């Protein structure tokens, strides 16, 4: 079936199996492999993307159900050469190790900060509580999001990618 949606600001239209999951549509049909997959039961959240600005587990939704909606993935987080403050925050505060949960965590953080620019620690922990990180123990993820909240203006990425 033909499915059309907006992904990171660009209109896309593809012929897909009706049963195709959104996560596979993004990863395999569109080649946007920044969205990950980590479980069979909607528990891990490595697949989180924003649909109309709301965090959604893309393994739990069909591509067909997403027709007509706006999807934002990690590839759409930076604005050209300018990183999102959330991305900067994750680098500043060591919010990632293996990086597998990171795209989903950052998108949830973005949605949270859009809704609530200065969340307290409990709110941040609750916001990411549907997602598992096996590497960081979460404290640095919380700090990364706090960093982003404290630095709402994004900076050009080339200043921030120095090792």
Contact 9, 76 (CB under 8 A): yes
- Say which entry of ligand FES, another protein, none residue 59 contacts (CB below 5 to 8 A, set by partner kind): ligand FES
Q: How far is the CB of 41 from ligand FES (least distance, A)?
A: 7
Which chain residues interact with ligand FES by CB under 6 A?
Answer: 37-39, 42-47, 57, 59, 96-102, 133-136
- State the Cα–Cα distance between residues 100 and 38, nearest whole angstrom: 9
Which CB atom, from 43 or from 129, has the smaller least distance to ligand FES? Answer: 43
Q: How far is the CB of 4 from another protein (least distance, A)?
A: 21
Does 140 help bind another protein (rule: CB under 8 A)?
Answer: yes
Which of 27, 28, 4 lies closest to 14, judged by CA? 4
Tokens in use for 77? Answer: 């987080």
Does 71 help bind another protein (rule: CB under 8 A)?
Answer: no
Does 11 help bind another protein (rule: CB under 8 A)?
Answer: no
Does 48 help bind another protein (rule: CB under 8 A)?
Answer: no
- State the Cα–Cα distance between residues 35 and 27, nearest whole angstrom: 7
Among the listed residues 121, 152, 155, 156, the single contact to another protein using CB under 8 A: 121
- Say which entry of ligand FES, another protein, none residue 146 contacts (CB below 5 to 8 A, set by partner kind): another protein
Q: How far is the CB of 156 from ligand FES (least distance, A)?
A: 25
Q: How far is the CB of 114 from another protein (least distance, A)?
A: 18
């Amino acid at each position: 079936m033909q499915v059309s949606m907006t992904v990171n600001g660009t209109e896309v239209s593809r012929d897909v199996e009706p049963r195709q999951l959104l996560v596979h549509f993004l990863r395999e049909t569109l080649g946007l492999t920044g969205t990950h997959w980590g479980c069979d039961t909607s528990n891990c959240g490595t697949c989180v993307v924003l649909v109309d600005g709301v965090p959604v587990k893309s393994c739990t939704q069909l591509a067909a159900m997403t027709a007509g909606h706006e999807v934002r993935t990690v590839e759409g987080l930076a604005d050209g050469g300018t990183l999102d403050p959330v991305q900067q925050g994750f680098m500043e505060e060591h919010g990632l190790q293996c990086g597998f949960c990171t795209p989903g965590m950052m998108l949830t953080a973005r949605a949270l900060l859009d809704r609530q620019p200065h969340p307290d620690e409990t709110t941040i922990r609750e916001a990411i509580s549907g997602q598992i990180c096996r590497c960081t123990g979460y404290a640095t993820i919380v700090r990364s999001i706090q960093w982003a909240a404290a630095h709402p203006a994004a900076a050009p990425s080339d200043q921030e990618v120095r090792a």
